[in-house]
Amino acid sequence: MAKAYSDDFRRKVMQAIELDGLKKREASQLFNISRNTINLWFQRKAETGDVKPKHRKASSDNSKIGDWQKFRSFVKEHGDKTQSEMAQLWEGKISQRTISRALQKIGHSRKKKLTDIANETKPNGQRF
């Protein structure tokens, strides 16, 4: 999500419009913000008396996977299966995307490890 504009910047824009007599259209061009943003700030000021941004709730971990140790052992056992198959095997209803995010969270990768053996060819030039 995009970061909110600072309080100082909001006050500057509002002051330019209210005290300096700048039109909203001119202020939007001058400060390089949309007119809709300015309108929302005026609406918020009318409702709350201030133009401060709304407080956002910190995202909580609403993961359907609560026991991560159990999930790690599940991945060791079923790591050769696709994410869709793993989702079907997991107890309870869970999506492939949830499995994908959980695998990322525990740092599981299906990428093959690099080996020290270079691409070898047969003596006649064909690969085996």
Q: Which residue, 115, 2, 27, is CA-closest to 11?
A: 27
What's the rounded Cα separation, in Å, for the pair 66 and 91?
Answer: 12
If you search the block for the tokens 């309080």, which residue do you land on? 7
pLDDT at 113: 64
Q: What span, in angstroms and rounded, lies between the C-alpha atoms of 41 and 13?
A: 10
Rounded Cα gap, residues 35 and 32, in angstroms: 9
Model confidence at 123, pLDDT cuts 50, 70, 90, reads low
- Say what the pLDDT of residue 68 is: 87
Res 42: pLDDT: 94
Three-state DSSP at 39 gives helix
Domain spans of the chain, in order of start: 7-48, 68-105
Chain segment 54-101, per-residue pLDDT in tens: 877 765 555 788 888 998 999 999 888 888 999 999 888 899 999 899
Query: Quick check: 24 and 17 in contact, CB under 8 A?
Result: yes
| pLDDT of 53 higher than 70 | yes
DSSP state letter for 4:
P
